[in-house]
Amino acid sequence: MTAEFTSFAGNKRTIASDTARTASFNEIPIISLKSPNAELIAQLRDACTRVGFFYIQDHDVPQEKIDKTFEIAKSFFAQEKEVKNEINYKKSRILRGYEPPAEVRTDETKKADLNEAFNWGYEKALDPERRDSDDEETGNPLPIPIYPTSPPQKRPNP
């Protein structure tokens, strides 16, 4: 049985099966970005559909940048709730921004999720391979990014 999913941005996807199934795994998948494309795609698909997350290796991101990103994230999440809620995801037309704990339910029959998150996505200005015609081709203009006003290092550099 197939089902159709419509995202908050209006994109539609057909889901091959709406039958729940158990995803089992014994370890977190480790995926090398240096794998051949077909293998990489298969590994990503498997990790995303079977496990829900994965560890990436061979990404060429300097450890210094990774450490700085974690430092900024810790600084952001340590702020008062009111400061973080200035960029609450509900203020974004595509649900980007701060997501407080116990506000979202992935299953309406269960208790609210306890995770706290900052949701973000593709940003055209940061894409070195972007094309100026991307918006015109899709007919779907990209959203304006939402960033916190503090800590001051919150925005990526193009």
pLDDT at 154: 55
pLDDT at site 61: 92
Cα–Cα distances (Å) from 35 to 7, 72, 107, 129, in that order, read 30, 30, 35, 21
Q: How many domains does the chain have?
A: 2
Tell me the residue length of the chain: 158
In a domain, 6, yes or no: no
- Report pLDDT digits (tens) over 11-55: 676 766 655 555 567 888 899 999 999 999 999 998 888 888 898
Model confidence over 118-151: pLDDT tens digits? Answer: 988 777 777 777 766 555 444 444 455 566 776 6
Confidence (pLDDT) at 109: 85
Q: How far apart are CA 153 and CA 67, in angstroms?
A: 13
Residue 16 included in any domain: no
Q: Are 122 and 130 in contact (CB under 8 A)?
A: no
Query: Domain end: 44, 60, 76, which one?
Result: 60
- 36 and 99 in a single domain? The answer is no
> Pairing state of beta strands 3-6 and 12-15?
antiparallel
Co-location of 92 and 43 in the same domain: no
Name the residue range of residue 134's domain.
61-158
Q: Identify the pLDDT of residue 158.
A: 44
